[in-house]
Chains A and B, each alone.
Chain A
Amino acid sequence: MKHVFGTPIVDYLPTLGLLLLTVMYLVTGYGYAPEARTFPVTVAWVAIALVLLDLLSRTKTPAGEAVTRWLNPSTSAGKLEAQTHYALSKQIAAAAWPIGFVALIVLTGFLVAVPVFVMASMYFRGKRSLLISIPVSAAATLFIWFLFAQILQLELYPGVLFNP
Chain B
Amino acid sequence: MMKFTRRDVMISAGLAAPALLAGRPARAAAAEFPTRNIQFVIPYAPGGGFDIYVRVVTPMMEKYFPKRVSIVPINVASGAGSRGVTQLYRAKPDGYTIGILNVPGMFILQQQQGSAAYDLNKFTWIGAIGDGERYFINVGVNSPVKTFADLKALSAKRPIKFSVTGPEGTAYMATKIGAQLLGLKTQLITGYKGSADYIIAAVRGDSDAVVAAVPTTMRFLRGGQLRPVISFESRSSIPGLPDATSVGQPELEKISVERLVAGPPGLPAELQNILSAALAKAVTDPAVTKWGKENDVVMKPKTPQETVAILTEQKAFFEKWKTALSAS
Contact = CB atoms under 8 A, between A and B. Distances in A.
B15 to A, nearest CB: 19
B21 interface: no
B74 interface: yes
Contacts of A109: 4
Contacts of B1: 155, 158, 163
Interface residues of B, number: 9
B72 interface: yes
Nearest to A33: B328
A39 to B, nearest CB: 12
Interface stretch (A66-74, A129-137, A146-154): A146-154
Nearest to A153: B72
Interface in B60-79: 72, 74
A61 to B, nearest CB: 45
Nearest to A148: B5
Interface residues of A, number: 12
A9 interface: no
B222 interface: no
A95 B37 CA distance: 41
A154 B74 contact: yes
B7 interface: yes
Nearest to A152: B74
Contacts of B7: 149-150
A143 to B, nearest CB: 14
Interface in B1-27: 1-2, 4-7
A156 interface: yes
B72 A155 contact: no
Contacts of B2: 155
A14 B154 CA distance: 57
A123 interface: no
B74 to A, nearest CB: 7
A111 interface: yes
Contact of A158 (B4, B37, B72, B74): B4
Contacts of A12: none
A145 interface: yes
Interface string A88-112: 0000000000000000000001010
Contacts of B74: 153-154
Contacts of A155: 1-2, 4-5
Nearest to B328: A35
Contacts of A163: 1
24 contacts: A109-B4, A111-B4, A111-B5, A145-B5, A149-B5, A149-B6, A149-B7, A150-B7, A153-B37, A153-B72, A153-B74, A154-B5, A154-B74, A155-B1, A155-B2, A155-B4, A155-B5, A156-B4, A156-B5, A158-B1, A158-B4, A158-B5, A162-B4, A163-B1
Given A149-B5, A162-B4, A163-B1, 16 more contacts: A109-B4, A111-B4, A111-B5, A145-B5, A149-B7, A153-B37, A153-B72, A153-B74, A154-B74, A155-B1, A155-B2, A155-B5, A156-B4, A158-B1, A158-B4, A158-B5
Q: Which 5 A-B pairs have the closest CB atoms?
A: A149-B5, A153-B72, A155-B5, A156-B5, A158-B4
Interface of B: 1-2, 4-7, 37, 72, 74
Interface of A: 109, 111, 145, 149-150, 153-156, 158, 162-163
